Amino acid sequence: MGWKRVFLMSKFSKLLVAASFASLLCAGSSLAQTSMPWSTEDSTIADMMANPQARAIYQKHFPELIGDPRMKEAGPRTLPELRLSLQPIINRQKLDAMDAELKALPPRVIAAAPQPPAVNEWVTWGYDPERSGWNRAETTLTKANVKGLRQVFSTALGVPTNLDVLSTVTAPVIAAGVAMPGGNKDVMFILGANDVLYAVDANSGAKLWEKAYPNPHKPTKAATWLCPNTPNATPTIDKARGLIFFMASDGLLRGISLTDGAEKMKPVEFIAPFGRAWSLNLIDGIVYSTSGRACGEVVDKTSPMYDAARSGLRRVPAGPMLDASAVQAADTRNLDNVRVTRFYTSGARPAAPWGRGSLARGPGNSVYLETSNGRYDPAAGDFSESILRLAPQATRLMDSFTPTNYAHNLAKDLSGSASPVVFNFAGKTLVAASQKESVLRILDAERLGGDNHMTPLWASPRLGNDAETGTDPGRGVWGAITTYENPQGRRFLYLPMLGEPSTQSPVFPMTNGPRPNGAVLAFEVKNDNGKISAVPLWTSDDMVMPDPPVVANGVVYALASAGQAMQNFAKPGDQRMPTTVSNKLRSTPVTHMQLFAYDAETGKRLWTSGKTLDSWVHFSEPVVALGKVYVVTHDARVVAFGLRK
């Protein structure tokens, strides 16, 4: 009975995994996994029995199991799952020997279900769970008419500005056709640093409702521009259930109605109060976020967060216990019983997951993220300077990539600063990643760094940041990478590069002039007889601190955020300023923000907002949906550009 009970429970788990994978394929995802290597760990007995070569290997190593009555219902299981129940028949030595032979077989093909049409809205940071930045359903704005964009509204949200708060509001998220009193409306949601969630009519700019979520905790440390004690994570929308998930500065995850803000789930502890978290992502009912920089104060000593933070300290601080860098996952499929799991990328401040998009969805609902600088000691649980792949719900580390020059990057503060993007190309699922080091790398999502976890499929030469400054001024790739596929199947990547180009940078055939301050760099991904690479295509106009661009209908929209790249010094070589002085420097823009539109393939400039936007913004992204382009500003306005009617 014990064997059968374990068997049935595992069989149920397999069905859940299968259902989850099916939902991934049917949820409008840009992923369509087409192949997977054979292995005893990932290939079920049914998979092997259906393939003559794999079946022969199975029968060679486990002839005792042929005809065994216990195997009648074992089709959905893997051999390692049966190991405890069928010892000594199944042992590690036999599995390793079998894996050596399975590895030589051609990858098994996994057919993808047809994808339903994409929806013209923007329900999460970067448009989709893969963080592509590409709205596949926008058709109103075209290369031909985008030159007619004009400002259609500018709505002041009323969030107070503060020298210590660089991100006054989050980037917007948009749900189309929300049931509201008086009829359906297209609604935009923005979270303010004042712990207020705003619902705005995405067509008129009129405020529809707002809800305040005061933090009952009082910070014991003073706010700084590094740790402002305010919310930072862009919310995410669950359109199917009519919900929006978000976190105010108390660190609780909330799920409320899109229609009127009514609470639909009891708030749950997600991050520490005052923590610095990145954009929420919703994948098959699981809400994810990443957090770091040790801004949060763990007030509950019985919380797992307290134990994690305490375990990673070299000394116990005199002040509050500060949160450890982590990935959070909340299972919201049952709103009456939400469960949270966490994966800690270190036991303290180091190796914080970085990048505005937090993490991206990959094959089988696994997630990919980039970590920043700090201690690198994977055996001790410190995963800095890496791309990590975690299992669903952040339950375990599945794979990792770390560049061979990680020690140099750590010494120079050139580590993670941008969210990776996951996409399909040439029958593979790929991951594109970059950082302050300014090297673009393309990785195989199934084998991130090869056997040594340090070998990418392809890497560019240095594209920028010859001075090797992580900050003061900030240079390199910050924010996120964007991807787009045109109707002919050509795949493109777009990088927001801060600072001047490298002397090692390849030649871009098309440019829009010199770019001493920064630019968007466009590449086309190529497949040369199975060898993946990316060739340079074009560069944008000169931009002061470009945000991650977005794409729709063959048009790239790029925002020069106009922020200050210096952080701790008025100019290089000066004495470091205290945060009570550098906050003014950080909150003083270099110029005014400017929105650009480019042909996604040729780089031809199609339109610019000119001097329309007189403010600046920190760590955001433009949003394109419903025939409009939306941006938010530091002074808490949301501005929409559309076509004349």
pLDDT tens readout for residues 463-484: 999 999 988 899 999 999 999 9
DSSP assignment of 110-125 equals -PPPPPPPP-SSB-ST
How does strand 252-257 pair with strand 531-539? unpaired
571 burial (CB, 10 Å; 0-12 / 13-18 / 19+) is exposed
pLDDT at 157: 98
Closest by CA to 151, choosing from 499, 590, 478, 629, is 629
Q: How many Å apart are CA 355 and CA 249, to the nearest integer?
A: 19
**Which strands, in side-by-side order, build the sheet including 421-425?**
421-425, 428-433, 441-444, 458-459
pLDDT at 574: 86
Closest by CA to 405, choosing from 423, 386, 388, 380, is 386
Instruction: Give every CB contact of residue 337 below 8 A, 6+ residues apart in sequence.
Output: none
pLDDT at 371: 96
pTM assigned to the model = 0.86
Rg (CA), the chain: 25
CA triple 8-13-19, angle to 5 deg: 125
Domains annotated on the chain, with CATH: 2-30+35-109 (no CATH), 134-642 (2.140.10.10)
Q: How many Å apart are CA 280 and CA 328, to the nearest integer?
A: 10
Closest by CA to 363, choosing from 433, 444, 287, is 444
Counting as low any pLDDT under 70, the low residues of the chain are 1-35, 110-116, 314-317
pLDDT at 542: 98
pLDDT at 317: 64
**pLDDT one-digit tens code per residue, 195-240:** 999 999 999 999 999 999 999 999 999 999 999 999 999 999 999 9
- Spatial contact of 374 and 352, defined as CB atoms under 8 Å apart: yes
Closest by CA to 434, choosing from 480, 472, 388, is 480
Q: How many Å apart are CA 541 and CA 523, to the nearest integer?
A: 16
Token pair 């010859």: residue: 466
